[in-house]
Amino acid sequence: MLATLQAAPQSIATAASAARWLWLAVALPLAGFLINGAIAFWQPQAKRAVSLIGPGVLLGAFAVVLYVAKSVGGVHLEAPIIVRLWDWIGAGDLRIPLAFQVDQLSLVMLMIVTGVGSLIHLFSVGYMHHDAGYARYFAYLNLFVANMLVLVLGDSLPVLFIGWEGVGLCSYLLIGFWYQDKANADAGKKAFIVNRIGDFGFLVAMFILWYAVGTLSFRELAVMAAGAFEGHTALVTAATLFLILGCTGKSAQIPLYTWLPDAMAGPTPVSALIHAATMVTAGVYLVARTNVLFALAPFSSMVLAGIGAATAIFAATIGLRQYDIKKVLAYSTVSQLGYMFLGVGSGAYVAGVFHLMTHAFFKALLFLGSGSVIHAMHHAYHETHSHDDPQDMRNMGGLRKAMPVTFVLMLLATLAIAGFPLLSGFFSKDEILASTFARGHDEPVYYLFWALGMAAALCTAVYMMRLITMTFLGENRTGAKEAPHLHEAPWIMTGPLVVLGILTVAGGLFNLPAFVGGHHWLETWLEPVLAPAAAIRPALLPHGATEWALIGAAVTVALGGLWLGWRLTSRAVIVPAKQAAAETGFAKVLFHKYYVDEIYDALVVRPLLRFSESTLWKQMDQGVIDGLGVNGAGRLARGLGRVGSWLQTGQVGLYLVLFLAGALYVIHVVTR
Amino acid sequence: MTHAVFVFFALVAVASALFCVTQRNPVAAIMWLIVTMLSLAGIFVLLGAEFAGAMQVLVYAGAILVLFMFFVMLLQLRHHDSDIRGKLGWVLALGVAGALLMQLAALKGYTPGRLAEEISSAPDQFASPAAVFPHAAEVQQTAVALGPVGAVAEPMFTRWLVPFELTSVLLLAAIVGAVVLAKRRL
Amino acid sequence: MPVFAPGLVGPALLLSAVLFCIGVAGVLLRRNAIIVFLCIELMLNAVNLTFVAVGQLYGMSGQVIVFFVMSVAAAEAAVGLAIVLSVFRHRATVDLKHANLLQG
């Protein structure tokens, strides 16, 4: 496919006409949402139809994207192709059309979203088959993909924001999918509200950009930003800092990451699609899109890289002591997103996007694999009517015998995420760390970020190997009665796993560096999109001896971490969850995620609640609005009525006086 | 000469009106009003409206006020306490009446000349103020030939015929209404 | 014999104004319903005088209107007194102070 994409040059016109079909890629999932929604409303038991339509529209969208990619791929695009659908906002000088932008970056994202999305839809057919809300699930999932495509295709910040908000909504709907349990509904609410804080940052950034540059379209920003912000670094720094706030919300970085671990309350394929491969990467995509702004504001880029590095190590340490398999993967996602931001913050946008892609592959594989495991555990507990937690790793163990395919694939993904040489994760993670180190030469703080990144890599390898050891190796702890019911997942679930496995292994081919004889294909492919930033603040890569030293260090950390993880876990005595003792010491702090949720609760949530209750409710709502407004209006009416009734004395004399006074006035007016 | 007679009748009218308004006894009030009406009849004659003057005496003083008298005697009202309102009443009454008087006194400015001006601006028959008085005099001359009653009758049954007929309907309604309202049992 | 006396018009109008205002004062000042009616009759008389005075200048229509006013006054007096009579039958008083059923 790579060779085809670089084949005979076609004219830009053919590419543009092919791009015009992209509306279909968005319309298909949208139609899927409507149809599945209708089915969910009126005929929820029509599962066969939903199984066809749900994944079907995704495969259709993927086909459209492939067709467009084939047409556009053969052309060397200097500027994006804009597909204008209709005029959206027209208010004074502000004119924003609903338009899609097709260029190399959006094509990469489109392939990831529709490709990985299709695989996850197919997996869901097996995973969710016994659920009563089957149709509703696919409706929401399709809506999510439609919104994500709008996000990725948007040609201006407001259009991107539509998708941004839409995926936030779908995330809420899907996290709280099993809403009858209040904890799930609360998790959905938490995700949405924390996201909202980030959205506020996004909006303020849009306002600043509109004020300073006068345009919100990406293409125009790339051209006009350098001139508009001439000598006004404070403004562009402010705008980018607010964009960073938006990114920390959507992509779960410090300080707004707390929603993502809670989001594991949703079905596992949802975690795979939304909270691993697509939605959480929206922040990285946004930074890559607005690369010119970040290049103009080196301070913001440093802040972004710092947040990324800090989050990477922070989340990685928490993952060391979590026992729920999905929580480990959740913190792993937060940590890996930190890597991506470290990459784009250092100016290595290609490395960041590359890691986005490889992470989509192996993280989706990890989540779906854990979904298989949970599916089997759930089935086993269901058969024996046990109430143990099917997601707790302390109840697993030795599953490699019962689920060999899942085991092999998850092991491959683990090796990839740890950075085992020649797997996809190795290349992408290595490139990020190398770029960070290289920038340290000009800005020494990046050396610190590099060190944090290496430490996080070590922890990543450790906790991932711990996960594999606890789940698949050793003796089975599920229970004698449950053990016979543990078996491999059906082919509809393992099929997508295999595809993802292949991509995990071979993903490095997308951007092979020179030292293994590659041509940095992705870098060349994305070069026109990232040119505006590269002109101002080019990405740096180390060469020669430094490069080999860094590679060596990374490999050592990876292999060492993997061995350490295996060794520590296989040596430890693990008991099933209900018999386990409570954590002590620093492990306890890690297990309770550094008590961040509790701190936020005390510092932010409770004061806000108190303020709402005392001031906003009692004084504003009850006192002013109810008292003055509603009741006050009533009192005013009654008062006026009372005054008016003073005229109704029933005394003819008074009536006569008033009558004659009126007549006097009339005469006065008439005889002027 | 006519002026002196006019002033005499005017003074009598005003004085008897004042007495009428301030009498406690309703019968006395009616008597004073009769005096007012008779003096007004005299003024009508001075102004050349003999028929109106005659009607004033015959119908107004002789029929309507007699009706009032009958009514008072029928009700056998006692008049121990004065029914004049208190201080506030005086203030309001004099206030309103005084204001009205001041407005209407502006009519004092209605010299014949000014009046002619205003009449001539009416859409009807006059080309200029100067034409008003000659026209009126002309009308008077034609009326002289018909006599006092004829002068009123002629417009009554030509120009004002429809209102005349409607008045008869009005009187019918009044008769029916008065009979019905005054019944003891409907 | 109709007389043409334009010099009396002004004073006649003034007299009419005075009588009218005396009538207004009486209506506002008295509580006895019959006296109030009498004052209304006084006001109507004043208006009659106005019409006659203006008739000097405007032709015979003034005097014709007097005729109509008189008949309307008669009708009004009859009906009004009938009303006072029926109220008197219920309340045994013609004092307007007691006619306050519209209070509220």
Helical H runs in A385-481?
399-402, 404-418, 424-439, 445-472
Give the residue numbers in A contacting C (CB under 8 Å), as ranges. 645, 648-653, 656-657, 660
Name A5's bridge partners: none
Q: What predicted TM-score, i.e. pTM, was given to this entire model?
A: 0.72
* Residue B136, pLDDT above cutoff 60: yes
- Cβ–Cβ contact C100 with A under 8 A: yes
Helix (H) or strand (E) holding A476: none
What's the gap in Å between the CA of C104 and the closest CA on chain B?
A: 21
Whole-angstrom Cα distance, residue A440 to residue A390? 45
Contact B115 C89 (CB under 8 A): no
Partner-chain residue, chosen from A664, A668, A671, that has the shortest CB–CB distance to B96 = A664
Contact C45 B60 (CB under 8 A): yes
Partner-chain residue, chosen from B96, B103, B106, that has the shortest CB–CB distance to A657 = B96
Measured in degrees and rounded to the nearest 5, phi and psi for residue C62 equal: -55, -45
Residues in C touching B119 (Cβ below 8 Å):
57-58
Whole-angstrom Cα distance, residue A82 to residue A220? 12
Whole-angstrom Cα distance, residue C79 to residue C76? 5
User: Looking at residue B175, what is its pLDDT?
Assistant: 94
- Cβ–Cβ contact A668 with B under 8 A: yes
Whole-angstrom Cα distance, residue A365 to residue A258? 23
- Chains A & B: contacts with CB separation below 8 Å: 16
- What angle is formed at CA A481 by the lines to CA A478 and CA A487, rounded to 5 degrees? 65
pLDDT band at residue B129 under the 50/70/90 scheme: low
Whole-angstrom Cα distance, residue B127 to residue A324? 110
Q: Which of A220-224, A552-556, B141-145 has the highest mean pLDDT?
A: A552-556
Which residue, A229, A473, A430, A266, is CA-closest to A339?
A: A430
Residues in C touching B167 (Cβ below 8 Å):
68, 71-72
Amino acid at A187: A
Q: Select the residue from C1, C14, C30, C69 to test the B interface by mutation, using most B Cβ atoms within 10 A.
A: C30
Contact C8 B2 (CB under 8 A): yes
A35 token code pair: 């149809």
> Tokens 């009958």 appear where?
B70
* Residue B104, pLDDT above cutoff 90: no
Whole-angstrom Cα distance, residue C26 to residue C32? 10
Which residue, A29, A185, A187, A45, is CA-closest to A121?
A: A29
B145, with CB counted inside 10 A (0-12, 13-18, 19+), is: exposed
- Cβ–Cβ contact B137 with C under 8 A: yes
Residues in B touching C90 (Cβ below 8 Å):
none
Measured in degrees and rounded to the nearest 5, phi and psi for residue A80 equal: -70, 155
Q: What percent of chain B has pLDDT over 70?
A: 78
- Cβ–Cβ contact A671 with B under 8 A: yes
Contact C17 B104 (CB under 8 A): yes
User: Looking at residue A76, what is its pLDDT?
Assistant: 76
What's the gap in Å between the CA of A663 and the closest CA on chain B?
A: 9
Neighbours of chain A (3+ CB pairs under 8 A): B, C
Q: What is the pLDDT of residues A538-570, one digit of tens each?
A: 777 777 778 888 888 889 999 999 998 888 888
Chain C residue with CA closest to B99: the answer is C21
Residues in B touching C22 (Cβ below 8 Å):
14, 17-18, 21, 97
Side-chain half-sphere exposure of A296, counting CA atoms within 13 A: 26
Which residues, at least 6 apart from A8, have a Cβ–Cβ distance to it below 8 Å? Answer: A74
Count of CB atoms situated within 10 Å of the CB of A291: 28
Chain B residue with CA closest to A660: the answer is B96
Q: What is the pLDDT of residues A224-260, one digit of tens each?
A: 887 887 777 888 899 999 999 999 999 999 899 999 9
Which residue, A545, A286, A356, A527, is CA-closest to A434?
A: A545
Measured in degrees and rounded to the nearest 5, phi and psi for residue C92 equal: 60, 25
Residues 10-39 of C with CB under 8 A from A: 24, 27-28, 31
Q: What are the angstrom distances between the C-alpha of A336 and each of A284, A311, A423?
A: 11, 9, 16
Chain B residue with CA closest to C35: the answer is B26
Count of CB atoms situated within 10 Å of the CB of A551: 18
The predicted model gives A491-509 an average pLDDT of 87
Whole-angstrom Cα distance, residue C31 to residue C41? 16
Chain C residue with CA closest to A659: the answer is C28
Q: What is the mean pLDDT of chain A?
A: 87
Residues in B touching C92 (Cβ below 8 Å):
none
Whole-angstrom Cα distance, residue A670 to residue A135? 79
- Chains A & C: contacts with CB separation below 8 Å: 28
Contact C102 A653 (CB under 8 A): no
User: Looking at residue A7, what is its pLDDT?
Assistant: 43
The answer to whether A96 and A219 have CB atoms below 8 angstroms apart is no
Contact C5 B47 (CB under 8 A): yes
Residues in C touching A648 (Cβ below 8 Å):
102-104
DSSP state of C102: T
Which residue, C67, A474, A539, is CA-closest to B54?
A: C67
The answer to whether A120 and A250 have CB atoms below 8 angstroms apart is no
Chain A residue with CA closest to C97: the answer is A651
A102 token code pair: 């097709």
pLDDT band at residue B151 under the 50/70/90 scheme: confident
ipTM confidence: 0.91
The predicted model gives A276-302 an average pLDDT of 89
For chain B, domain boundaries: 1-75, 136-186
Hey, which CATH number is domain B1-75, 1.10.1240.10, 3.30.420.40, 1.20.120.1200, 3.30.1600.10? Answer: 1.20.120.1200
A666 token code pair: 């009339």
Which residues, at least 6 apart from A128, have a Cβ–Cβ distance to it below 8 Å? Answer: A134, A137, A267, A269
Chain C residue with CA closest to B5: the answer is C8
Q: What is the pLDDT of residues A71-99, one digit of tens each?
A: 887 777 778 888 888 889 888 888 889 99
Residues in B touching A668 (Cβ below 8 Å):
103
Q: Select the residue from B96, B107, B118 to test the A interface by mutation, using most A Cβ atoms within 10 A.
A: B96
The predicted model gives A129-152 an average pLDDT of 93
Mind listing the domains of chain C with CATH numbers?
10-98 (1.10.287.3510)
Higher per-residue pLDDT: A556 or B77: A556
Count of CB atoms situated within 10 Å of the CB of A582: 7
- Cβ–Cβ contact A657 with B under 8 A: yes
Residues in B touching C31 (Cβ below 8 Å):
83-85
Q: What is the pLDDT of residues A473-495, one digit of tens each?
A: 888 887 777 777 778 888 888 88
* Residue A8, pLDDT above cutoff 60: no
User: Looking at residue A589, what is its pLDDT?
Assistant: 85
Partner-chain residue, chosen from B33, B49, B135, that has the shortest CB–CB distance to C66 = B49
Count of CB atoms situated within 10 Å of the CB of B78: 6
Rounded (10°) angle between helices A282-289 and A349-384: 170
Count of CB atoms situated within 10 Å of the CB of A156: 23
Contact A667 B100 (CB under 8 A): yes
Label residues A107-127 b or e (16+ Cβ within 10 Å = b). Answer: bbbbbbbbbbbbbbbbbbbbb
* Residue A588, pLDDT above cutoff 80: yes
pLDDT band at residue A672 under the 50/70/90 scheme: low
The answer to whether A175 and A263 have CB atoms below 8 angstroms apart is yes
Contact A648 C100 (CB under 8 A): no
Q: Select the residue from A646, A648, A652, A659 to test the C interface by mutation, using most C Cβ atoms within 10 A.
A: A652
Q: What are the angstrom distances between the C-alpha of B1 and each of B4, B8, C50?
A: 5, 11, 22
The predicted model gives A608-616 an average pLDDT of 87
- Cβ–Cβ contact C87 with A under 8 A: no
Chain B residue with CA closest to A671: the answer is B103
A585 token code pair: 């010491």
The answer to whether A353 and A284 have CB atoms below 8 angstroms apart is yes
